[in-house]
Structure 1
Amino acid sequence: MNAEIIAIAVFIITYALIIDERIHRAVAAMAGAAVIVFAHIVPWDKIPHYLDLGTIFLLMGMMIIVNTARKSGLFEYIAIRTAKLAKGSPMRVLILFSLVTAVVSAFLDNVTTVLLLTPMLLYIAKLMKLNPVPFLVSEIFASNVGGAATLIGDPPNIMIASAAGLTFNEFLMNMGPVVVVDMAIMLVMLYLIYGRTLKVKPEEQETIASTIDALDERAAILDRSLFMKSVVTILLVVFLFFIHAQLELEPAIIALTGAAIILIWSRVPPEEIFEKIEWPALFFFGGLFIVVGALVETGLISQLASFVVSHVDSTAEAMIIIAWFAAFASAIVDNIPLTATLIPLITDMGQTMDVYPLWWALSLGACLGGNGTAIAASANVVVIGIAEREGVSITFMDFLKMGMLVLVVTVAAGLGVLLLMYGW
């Protein structure tokens, strides 16, 4: 059978299985990769080329750092401190938690961020006797927007940086302004939509503030020594990310070095941390990279790139098409396989146009598209799942109404910033 037909068939079937979810996506990706390798479409000696170990090792290193830091109570400490700053004001709680979620999601895994902050938000909403849904959806939106800011903030960014050779500072300088603008617009939208409903009487606000003030953030610190070691390690890793280009070190090396430092320094039994690593996610990445690699190896991606370039008149037009396509597609399907598919396409477009701005358009669409639907990003699923266990329902359609509005406005604003940066 023709290699191109096999590559397309495996890609479509793998994608369908990922969307269907009856088979775990990691199993679907590994099965697709096995067929590709078995059929000799991707030669064995080229597997390391397509596997993108930079992405896999960066994710692994950050997972180790975050899971070790979690044992200290660091994230619970941040949540309580944030709640106290709000002083019983519901709208202030929403804004402050959104900002904290965005900042933390820019530097750490956003799923871990929402896992730790969501129970706190539910508790505060219960204290205030308010509907927790506005707080939870705001947290989801902030995690997806904030994750777009840095190289390590969201898996699509890690993949883009690894493929295009982009640095941590390049991401921060290009996507940072976009995220600042989008966060400001999003908070204004949330205030306009929820401002009237998130109100309590002055005397109730004082009671709530005193109850929250009674919470002891120091009691949240389970291991003070590990707490300090976690803070130092995370700050060191972030600092090294800023200067990794000057040091001529790959981000993955920095993440693995940070992981080694915190494990050696903390003396936490490594088996306790390794069993919490998202191994299915890493195997999913590996299998998917090989499936997409088959499309590259057979020349299909190159042909598609030539077709796209022949119908696009300018880089600005290509930016608009890529950003909107990635955004709406990411709202429907997982942004990781989507990004993996579009990366080689953009790479091949580099033969006839400047693709540097296109990477930022892809990052914008892939990351912010996660706000479109309840299942568009892992953070969305985690928050809604925790809420359901607490008896709080966020329906698919309720989320869709707000999510699509946020998606359209933030992608449009972000695209406007990028077009201003790189010329219309």
Structure 2
Amino acid sequence: MVAQITAVVIFLVMFSLIITEKFPKQFTTLVCGALTLILVFGVGMNVDNQISGSHYNWVTSLRETLNVENIFKLGFWYTAAGEIESKGIDWATIFFLTGMMIMVEGMARVGFFRWLCLHVAKLVKYKVIPIFIVFMMMSAILSMFIDSITVILFLAAVTVELSGLLKFNPVPMILAEIFCANLGGSSTMCGDPPNIIIGSKLGYSFMDFLFNTGAIAGVSLVIMIFYFYFACKKQLVVKGEVDTSKFPVPKDAIKDQKGFVISSLIFALAVALLITHGQTHLSVATIGIGIAIITILANIKYLGIIFKKVDFPTVLFFTGLFVVVGGLEQTHILELIAEFIKNVSGGNVYVMIAIIIWVSAFASAFIDNIPFAATMVPVIQALAGPGADLSTMAWALSVGTDIGGSATPIGASANVVGMAVAQKSGHPVGWGKYCKISAPATVLVLLISTGIIFVRYL
């Protein structure tokens, strides 16, 4: 009990400090992560063992949370070699995120993003609203096949570059891109980590997700385009006149022709590897590290410039966050949440589905949805029976965990990355501004999803 209370208190303190933004977010999570290791594992678990006869093994909990051993297992790099249990620090995500950041900075150095945004702007005749709508659709579609972190890394960078040329506020567009990336990621098995967990453990394929959660995401995307248009159109007004005749020619944006070609090929390789990693069995860690190495070798003369711009504070933020969530996981707080769903639902399938969607969404808005999804899979397996189809509960869990993360800045990896790009460009986004736009959109999509599941499956 002491360990559980301590883990919850540390999480709440961390959450409060992140909201108030009194300290840099990476310092907050790293300090709270250190407190978790000391107070939850080192003190709380031992006190519980002595007082209540609990059977916590703090050494095992510490090892599982730090999760360093997995890095040295073949299955971490090549998934066909065996399953790797995902607990504590998700080093695969850390490696992948770092690798993609290095790749993106390599592309930025040669002018790739500026070249891309100029082409897009020219295609839609430099009109902000058409750009806004096209980027939302691009974000959703690309996230069906590519990790949403990668999509937001380059789309947000393009948006910032474009906002400088057309003189508009990039924040609303970045928020819409983030939401659509999470929405698109919910539609396929490879689009979001919780879907990979659900699909692999329950035996569902890419097409299973596409025809079920994909249909829900498709309907929701159409509605979200209208929602974000009406919610953000006043903020997308161009400030002053824009003389497009003085815009640089897209090809002039390329700073290094040879480097541009190489960077484009590296990006194409990354996309191909991510789309086919289910067939090649290369893990995202392997892909991230491999792409980083290739980028470094291709930009060996410019490493100082590239590494100076890589957003390492965000990587540290994720590391600390994983440790704090590991404290909740090791003290069985996540299991208690899952057990609550099982008990409250009784036997009413409508209540059961609604609870799975909404509790999963609420939890995913504040904690990492990967361990939550992993915890919930055996729960829905136990709940399955006559009148309660396992696949229906799987789609409910997928939608809840994937979409719920859009409600807050820390609910999904893409959110954190997008906010970091905005802040790095001089457009910081606080919790209030983020939630004012994205939280209502999340609730709306969850209502749509609940209705579709009720009508289509029950």
TM range (shorter): 0.7 to 0.9
| Separation (CA, whole Å) in 2 of partners of 1:367 and 1:196 | 26
Identity percentage of aligned residues: 20
1:345 matched to 2:400? The reply is no
AA aligned to 2:152 is N
How far did 1:222 drift? 1.7
Matched, 1:211 2:217: no
AA matched with 2:278: A
TM score, norm. by length of structure 1: 0.74
Equivalent of 1:25, from 25, 28, 42? 28
Partner of 1:184: 222
Q: Retained in 2: the 8 A contact 1:136–1:383?
A: yes
Write the distance in 2 (CA, Å) between the matches of 1:42 and 1:7. Answer: 16
* Structure 1 position 309, deviation (Å): 0.9
- Partner of residue 76, structure 2: none
What is the SS of the residue equivalent to 1:149? Answer: helix
Q: Which residue of 1 aligns with 2:276?
A: 243
TM-score, normalisation: structure 2:
0.69
Q: Alpha carbons of 1:169 and 1:416: their partners in 2 closer, same or farther (altered >3 Å)?
A: same
Q: Distance in 2 between matches of 1:19 and 1:164?
A: 34
Shift of 1:176: 4.8
CA distance in 2, matches of 1:160, 1:290: 22
Distance 1:245 1:143 in 2: 24
Q: What pairs with 1:10-409 in structure 2 (closer than 5 Å)? A: 10-21=7-18, 22-23=22-23, 24-35=27-38, 36-39=40-43, 41-43=58-60, 44-47=62-65, 48=67, 50=87, 51-102=89-140, 107=146, 108=150, 110-111=152-153, 113-124=155-166, 126=167, 132=168, 136-150=171-185, 157-158=192-193, 161=196, 165=200, 169=206, 173=210, 176-191=214-229, 211=244, 214-270=247-303, 272-312=305-345, 313=347, 317-325=351-359, 327=361, 335=366, 337-339=367-369, 342-353=372-383, 354=390, 356-370=394-408, 377-378=415-416, 379-380=418-419, 383=422, 402-409=437-444
Contact in 2 for aligned 1:148/1:157 (Cα 8 Å): no
Distance 2:115 2:250 in 1: 5
Contact (CA 8 Å) 2:175, 2:438: kept in 1 or not?
A: no
C-alpha contact (below 8 Å) 2:407/2:438 kept by paired residues: no
Q: What residue is the counterpart of 2:387 in the other structure?
A: none
Q: Which amino acid aligns with 2:160?
A: T
1:232 partner amino acid: L
- The total of aligned residue pairs comes to 396
Secondary structure class of the residue paired with 1:60: helix
Structure 1: which 5+ residue stretches go unaligned? 127-131
Between the aligned partners of 2:311 and 2:291, the Cα distance in structure 1 is 18
Q: Give RMSD over aligned pairs.
A: 4.3
How far 1:409 sits from its partner (Å)?
Answer: 2.5
- Cα distance, 1:137–1:112 mapped onto 2, change above 3 Å: same
Name the amino acid aligned to 2:155.
Answer: T
Distance in structure 1 (CA, Å) of the matches to 2:105 and 2:321: 25
Separation (CA, whole Å) in 2 of partners of 1:270 and 1:352 = 52
Aligned-partner SS, 1:215 = coil
Amino acid at match of 1:15: L
Aligned AA (2:9): I
